[in-house]
Amino acid sequence: MAKVEIYYWTTCPFCLKARALLDEKDVEYIGYDITGDNEAREKMIARTGGPKSVPQIFIDGELVGGCDDLYAMDDRGELNEKLGL
């Protein structure tokens, strides 16, 4: 199975929705709660190469994007393959 990482804020509805999709697929992921942590947010921005919004999702070290990107991959039937399901 792929290594999945997600940067999120606890109260962000898009973060909750993205995590719910991963949970629905029984995907284990590493979550980085960056709520109110500017240093952690700067690390996320450095890793993404610019995007500042949350969530930011990585699969096997590759930036997938945010919630809409994750759902679009799922709609196209690409997410399960990318996750190794």
DSSP string of 69-84? HHHHHHHTT-HHHHHT
Closest CA to 31 of 5, 70, 55, 2: 5
Structure tokens, 44:
């996320």
Q: In what order do the strands lie in the sheet with 62-65?
A: 30-33, 4-8, 56-59, 62-65
- In the predicted model, is pLDDT for residue 44 greater than 90? yes
Domain containing residue 64: CATH number: 3.40.30.10
Helix (H, G, I), strand (E, B) or coil at 1: coil
Q: What pLDDT does residue 11 have?
A: 95
Q: Find the domain containing 49 and state its range.
A: 4-83
pLDDT (mean) for 5-18: 97
Residue 1: the pLDDT is 84
User: How many domains are there within the chain?
Assistant: 1
Element (H, E) at 20: helix 13-24
pLDDT tens-place string over residues 46-72: 999 998 999 999 999 999 999 999 999
Residue (of 55, 50, 53, 43) closest to 18 by Cα position = 55
